[in-house]
Amino acid sequence: MMSLKIGVSGINAIDNPGPGTGVIRSLREDNDLDIKIIGLSYDAMEPGIYMEGLTDRVYILPYPSNDHRSYLERLKYIKDSYGLDFIFPNFDAELPFYIKYQDEIEKMGD
């Protein structure tokens, strides 16, 4: 079975939790998956970063609406330093970035 490293954003777990926490819990429920979860956070104070067993690794990202180049470079750094096979973007604000840079992101997998 192939092991996957999956990046998931939206891992804040406050009163109005981000959807990433539920996505991660759903992935962890499947015992047939061999996965490592990478939390993709925009703030070092997001509670999901500190929840035991939620993620295997966490990286802080720049906000996607600020500087697309920096965001893309950070994803490349994560891919090169730890591995990154799949990304679950969970915020609407991330979608324009992933649409615009889809080809470049796919080439990172080569």
Strands 35-41 and 86-88: unpaired
Q: Tell me the two tokens of residue 87.
A: 């990304």
4 has pLDDT over 70 = yes
Q: What is the pTM of this model?
A: 0.91
pLDDT of residue 54: 92
Q: Which residues pair with 90 in a beta bridge?
A: none
pLDDT of residue 18: 82
Tracing tokens 């915020």 back to the chain, one arrives at 91
Mean pLDDT for all residues in the chain: 90
Assigned architecture for domain 4-108: 3-Layer(aba) Sandwich (3.40)
Q: Can you tell me the distance from the alpha carbon of 18 to that of 102, in angstroms, rounded to the nearest whole number? A: 23
pLDDT of residue 48: 85
Say whether 7 sits in a helix, a strand or coil: strand
Q: Can you tell me the distance from the alpha carbon of 61 to that of 23, in angstroms, rounded to the nearest whole number? A: 19
pLDDT digits (tens, 9 = 90+) for 6-38: 999 999 866 667 899 999 999 999 999 999 999
